[in-house]
Structure 1
Amino acid sequence: MRDTAVAAVQLSVVVPAYNEEGRLRPTLDAIRAHLDGHPGGWELIVVDDGSSDGTAGIAGQAAAADARIRLVSSPANRGKGHALRLGVAASAGERVLVTDADLATPIEELDRLTKELETGHDAAVGSRAHPESQVEVHQRRLREWLGRMGNRLIQAVAVPGIRDTQCGFKLLDGDKAREAFADARLDGWGIDVEILQYFRRQGWPVAEVPVRWAHQEGSKVGPLDYLRVLGELARLKTRAIRRVDLLVCGLFLLASVLLYKNLWADLGHGYLADSLQDQNQWEWFFAVTADNVAHLHNPLFTAAQNYPAGVNLMGNTPMLGLSVPLTPVTLAFGPTVTWALVLTGGLTATAVAWYWLIAKRLVRNRWAAALGAGLAAFAPPMISHGNAHPNFLVLFMIPVIIDRALRLCTGERVVRDGVLLGLFAAYQIFLGEEPFLLASIGMLLFALCYALARRDVARAAARPLLQGLGVAALTALPLVAYPLYWQFFGPQSYHSVLHGDNAGNSSRALLEFSGRSLFGSDTTADPLALNRTEENAFYGWPLVALAFAITVRLWRHALVKALACTAVAAAVLSLGQKIRIPYTDVVFPGPWRALAHRPLFDSVIEGRLAMICAPALGILIALAADRLVRAPVHVYRVVGLTAVAAALLPIVPTPYPVQVRPDVPAFIADGMWKQYVAPGESVVPVPLPDPGSAEALHWQSATGMDFPVPGGYFNGPWGPDRIGIYGASPRYTSNLFHDVRYGGKVPEIGAQWRAQARYDLAYWKAGVVVIPPEDNDAALYVTVEKLLGRPGKQVGGAWIWPVGKRS
């Protein structure tokens, strides 16, 4: 405890000094003379930062003459930051003034700063850059310009809103100053920024005050020191990452690698067993994007499949936000490596992003944040989509967007945060539009629920949030306007995708375990999902029960109310247009019916709305775990954390199974096709590639995209209304090949069929017809032989019929 003499100190003045024997004595005399004229006790602390001249002697003499002056010495020169930490730590005043030894800002300006603290601010900064400041003696013009530019750079990077980040004249609340300087780590000039950042993080208001200022000859701060400040701040940022953060990120990476270990173990032949034809499709997306970039072609369109009509890539999901920057990887190592890298790295990045958001804004315990982030990223619906849909797995931008929207609600930097939000949103559009739409629905649900729980907060946040969203829209629109125009109005655009009226979840699916969960099985999960890439719920009854218990226990918190209501609303919407009561014939309309046929929403598989529950449940778990680890009663901690483990253990994902993919026929792999296909002609696989069998896309992606194919696996238009379907618009001959491939029966082939085949082959600009080894290839051979009226020949492990210009 302080004694009464120390407690009476109202103001502590801290002066860091290094080799200041020429200027220190007049500075001390000026400070003492000014403070003697003011009521209240004061102290003046001079910190000698290992000076090699007479600085310490001058300060010692002043201390001997006046007991209110003290000398604190550093054994070596460590920098301004170290000196200020020593001085502030030694202070006892209710307020602390830090000022440079040159008194470039006169001590008389203290009165202006004092008024700001008396009106409720916790700190006041004497700003040379304030419009009302008076600069009595300027620096040389170049030096002043460089200093101003350096200051603006630091402001933009580190302390937006403060005009003069390197101010040497600051008045601070004493206790808050000692807390901030005790937390500081920088030894150099960057301490000024570090302290301002600390005050801002704590929500302590800082005033920027106009002052008189005069450049002093011999100033130790030069233009290059602003770059040193940025370097110090960068090092500080690096040191701020705790070891536990690195460990958590490493564990997320390890978990992702273990999930995809079977794929990484055999990149040459491994194929995710439950991905249906999507691995072929996604590798093709990566390959065609790389080819477009390498040849400077339009990245929004290609005729490599569905030849000659082509594919509107913006109307599909090539994830241009990753496939374009990963072009060097695709060209150097092949699209399978890119596929594995996007899945593994994207899952890791998503978990890290949720961890960053939860740890930053919601909980103090890092392991609680990791638990919540793990559930948000590795929840059963995400793992299901990890078989085949990286656009629903790679969601690392969503937490970043949420964080920026929350910043907008404070109203501090609406324009800057709005611009950043617009850039983030534009990038997310190039990662995945449907996931962004679902995330937006989730954010809207949360905002409405939170607004109902905290109307006062909603009223305060509404105006800056809406303004920021307007700025974000104006920022994003120029970046995405043309791609979106191409998507909805360009070649091969479509209006919606037909999924049927039964794409919602069964209510049982919300409580069961998925086939890829530790306690789940395909036998139980398969009847409740569209397929194994669309197990969109499957959170398991223990987790649902735990979430209910957490909600009841913490219901008084507005955040918990909003999270719980968001999860329930999303779960109900995911049930689709018709909600069936399990084990009965009772069906009643679902709320999704109101949106099902609206633009944009008509292309959504409504069962996917249950994915919104994952981050909501993850944050609830994080909040509960954070409270449990701090519970004062040991029994509560043990019982509570055991319940959390019991709820999460059953849904721990298991590694993805991998099967061996068919080899590319030598006819394709060895380039034998080239002698049969002229420029502008296509290779026609039999049957044509479609969503059920797309190996021909692997032929292309594995061999350099050198030839086009008709048909394919993509989203495109069908009929006069341009309704979206999966695959190419069917033709008679492609339907015939499909029926023979899956039925094994050769129909009677007459003149009409042969004429139709000639017509379709001409439409496809066929150069060669190819039957690879596959099921029912004998029946397919007979069919093609009858259609073309001649036998095929076997070349490179495939039956072929040259039909083009080179035949």
Structure 2
Amino acid sequence: MSVAAPATESAEDRPAPPVEATTARRRRSHLIVAAVALGLAAYLTHGLWAQPYTHVIAGNVGDQAFFEWVLSYGVHILRDGGDPFFTTVMNTPAGVNLAANTSITVYAVLFAPVTILAGPQVSFVAVLTLNLAGSAFAWYLFLDRWVTRNRISAAIGGLFCGFAPGFVSHANGHLNWTAGWIAPLVLWWLFKLREEGRWLRNGAILGAILGACFTIAAEGLFFTALAGGVFVVVWSLAAVTRPEARRALPTVLAGLGVTAVVAGALLAYPLYMHFAGPQTFAGTGFNQRHYAEDVAAYFSYSDRTLAALAGVGNNLAANPTEQTSFFGLPLMLLIIVAFVLLWRRADPGRRATLRALAITGGLFMLLSFGPRLRFNGNETDIPLPYALLQRLPLFDSALPLRLALVLVGVFGVVLAFAADLLLDREEVPHPGHAPFAAAFAFALIPIFPLPLLWAERAPEPKFIADGTWEKFVPDGGTISALPFAANVAADGQRWQAYTMARGGKQFRIPDGYFLGPEAGGADEKGRIGAPAHRTDWLFLRAALYGYVPEIDNWDRAQARADFQYWGIEAVFLPDEITGSESILFRSAVEISATQLLGPPERVDDVLVWRIRPGVDPIDR
């Protein structure tokens, strides 16, 4: 299925250039676009590259800690064995269903050498940088192969898709959503399914791609499948393309059958774990009505753009990581005008493609608004179609505002089509070309991305780095930093991650930052982290709010029961602790721990409290 326009008559009459020259130009173009994409990605992440061990993405410390942990867990399972989709080294003894989280297993395995040699901090920023660059380059290759006649047009569309505001927003910590290269890769092989005589090979390759990408970005893969299906169906139903679609149908169905077999074999266990494994859950820990796109957001600018730097900001997103549309008014107008011009100049085949793009984009824009219409920061009582989908399997685990990311691909194709018009050398110059080119600049320059914001985080304590912790807990035992690991205080999870990356002896931790069932059992509503016990909440409350309660014997009895449940043999408090968005009250944590557990030991750069099972904490 080619969505590109046919060559003009004059282009057909012109002698074809030598194959060697054409190949050399193509390679040169590919290298230039790859270099530009990598340069832009490095520019966005340079704050993390400057000092990956102490710099962290500002405002999303928890997500970065989680992905550093799963990168380290990849090293752990390669060295020591284990289940890639379930573990009890975190949230012991209940464990974590990694298939129901974003376990990025493929990345964890591929980057294991980097993680071992340089640490998960470097692996994290490397994956993030390559994701951004690879997304732009993959979209460029896709547009060059299937859409445009001009590689400059493909480069414009590809760079837009790779560095669109929504994906730059997700670069604030999300290694799954910045893997925007998944969409063009899947669509490429979906289109290739129509090749006669190659249904077995193409179906097997697409199945393998789906199996690998599931662990990287299951939600993004789901959206890609939906969008690709809608586009292909609408395109196939057009009168002009219906005969072509009918001829290709047997080959495509055969290829899809092979895809289903291969993907099913690769994903049988991960899907079982995702839907029926231990510590699974329904939905997510996020409110879908809150994580729905605002209509006005499409016409606004995200925080990390030149427009925001100039003061044209907004507060229409659930958080800075979820600014998934935010194309700006000029770009939205440009897309509309470009679409109208393309439609007027298109032949029936091109109109079938444009119609499929418009329906796909319009449908996903509507679904991104969530169960109820939101406008300018306010939720109305107007129900929307997503209300009918939000409790269905898969949809119940998705956040509707992220559906807006599908429009990045739709807009990228329209921009590539429009750039083809401007760069078509066979056309007589039109007086409208100059204003149209100016409109491109006026729409795209304001959304040019700014580097990611970064902040300082607590360095790894010597107590962990030097292995001193081994004196306080045996291999496979349980020890915890204070406060216990959570999305808003993820240091304890980081210390375990760095230990796993180095190999050797390993400890377990209670709690952690992950998605799990509401009350700790299967088939319950999802939540962020483990259900809180009184003891871990005592320390987290002290860290977040500086609150030091009066500790009594009931608190100590509860702590004894909690420690026995977790199997904790020691807790420690580093000299520096990091919060997600604010300073943590370390002194309040120390006072609370001392009242509960008695005086600590000073070991290296931490305070340590030993836990002896069966003994009241204060009696130590």
TM over 0.5: yes
Supply the AA of the counterpart residue of 1:689: A
Match of 1:510 in 2: 298
Q: 1:584 to 1:296 in 2, by over 3 A?
A: closer
Match of 1:795 in 2: 603
In the alignment, structure 1 residue 627 sits paired with structure 2 residue 421: yes
Q: 1:581 to 1:679 in 2, by over 3 A?
A: closer
Q: Give the C-alpha shift of residue 781 in structure 1.
A: 2.5
In the alignment, structure 1 residue 612 sits paired with structure 2 residue 406: yes
Match of 1:529 in 2: 317
8 Å contact kept, 2:168–2:449: yes
Residue ranges of structure 2 left out of the alignment (5+ in a row): 1-11, 578-583
Q: Give the C-alpha shift of residue 759 in structure 1.
A: 0.5
Q: 1:525 to 1:285 in 2, by over 3 A?
A: farther
The equivalences for 1:229-378 within 5 A come to 239=24, 241-378=26-163
Match of 1:467 in 2: 254
1:297 match: secondary structure? coil
1:420 match: secondary structure? helix
8 Å contact kept, 2:484–2:510: yes
1:767 match: secondary structure? strand
In the alignment, which of 565, 577, 581 is matched to residue 371 of structure 2? 577
In the alignment, which of 701, 709, 712 is matched to residue 509 of structure 2? 709
8 Å contact kept, 2:316–2:377: no
8 Å contact kept, 1:677–1:804: no
Supply the AA of the counterpart residue of 2:329: W
8 Å contact kept, 2:316–2:376: no
Supply the AA of the counterpart residue of 2:277: G
Residue ranges of structure 1 left out of the alignment (5+ in a row): 1-175, 186-235
Q: Give the C-alpha shift of residue 184 in structure 1.
A: 4.8
Q: Give the C-alpha shift of residue 581 in structure 1.
A: 4.1
CA distance in 2: counterparts of 1:463 and 1:594, whole angstroms: 33
The equivalences for 1:714-793 within 5 A come to 714-719=514-519, 720=521, 721-773=523-575, 774=577, 775-788=584-597, 790-793=598-601
1:252-299 alpha-carbon deviations (Å, 9 max, x no partner): 111111111111111232212143311111111101111211223332
In the alignment, which of 386, 393, 398 is matched to residue 183 of structure 2? 398
Which moved further from structure 2: 283-292 or 483-492? 483-492
Q: Give the C-alpha shift of residue 802 in structure 1.
A: 0.6
Identity across matched positions, percent: 33
1:712 match: secondary structure? coil
CA distance in 2: counterparts of 1:353 and 1:380, whole angstroms: 17
Supply the AA of the counterpart residue of 2:510: P
Rg comparison, structure with higher value: 1
In the alignment, which of 388, 393, 409 is matched to residue 594 of structure 1? 388
8 Å contact kept, 2:182–2:221: no
Moved over 6 A (4+): none
1:773-800 alpha-carbon deviations (Å, 9 max, x no partner): 4432332223223323x22233323222
1:192-213 alpha-carbon deviations (Å, 9 max, x no partner): xxxxxxxxxxxxxxxxxxxxxx
In the alignment, which of 146, 166, 169 is matched to residue 381 of structure 1? 166
Q: Give the C-alpha shift of residue 402 in structure 1.
A: 0.9
CA distance in 2: counterparts of 1:431 and 1:488, whole angstroms: 17
Supply the AA of the counterpart residue of 2:515: N
CA distance in 2: counterparts of 1:519 and 1:281, whole angstroms: 31
Q: 1:313 to 1:786 in 2, by over 3 A?
A: same
CA distance in 1: counterparts of 2:50 and 2:592, whole angstroms: 40
Q: Give the C-alpha shift of residue 749 in structure 1.
A: 2.4
1:418-463 alpha-carbon deviations (Å, 9 max, x no partner): 1221112112113211110011122123224323444514444444
Match of 2:280 in 1: 493
Match of 1:158 in 2: none
In the alignment, which of 447, 453, 463 is matched to residue 651 of structure 1? 447
In the alignment, which of 353, 357, 361 is matched to residue 559 of structure 1? 353
1:538-590 alpha-carbon deviations (Å, 9 max, x no partner): 11111110000011112252222221222222111101000034487743111
8 Å contact kept, 2:73–2:108: no
Supply the AA of the counterpart residue of 2:158: A
In the alignment, structure 1 residue 440 sits paired with structure 2 residue 225: yes
Q: Give the C-alpha shift of residue 476 in structure 1.
A: 1.3
Q: Give the C-alpha shift of residue 393 in structure 1.
A: 0.9
CA distance in 2: counterparts of 1:441 and 1:520, whole angstroms: 32
CA distance in 1: counterparts of 2:78 and 2:310, whole angstroms: 41
CA distance in 1: counterparts of 2:433 and 2:325, whole angstroms: 29
CA distance in 1: counterparts of 2:59 and 2:88, whole angstroms: 28
Match of 1:221 in 2: none
Q: Which has the higher contact order (CA 8 A, sep 6+)?
A: 2
8 Å contact kept, 2:85–2:103: no
Normalising by structure 2, we get a TM-score of: 0.88
Q: 1:337 to 1:742 in 2, by over 3 A?
A: closer
1:602-655 alpha-carbon deviations (Å, 9 max, x no partner): 010110000000011011000000111114215433222221111111111011
1:678 match: secondary structure? coil
Supply the AA of the counterpart residue of 1:714: F
8 Å contact kept, 2:556–2:596: yes
Q: Give the C-alpha shift of residue 242 in structure 1.
A: 3.2
CA distance in 2: counterparts of 1:528 and 1:499, whole angstroms: 17
In the alignment, which of 330, 333, 339 is matched to residue 545 of structure 1? 333
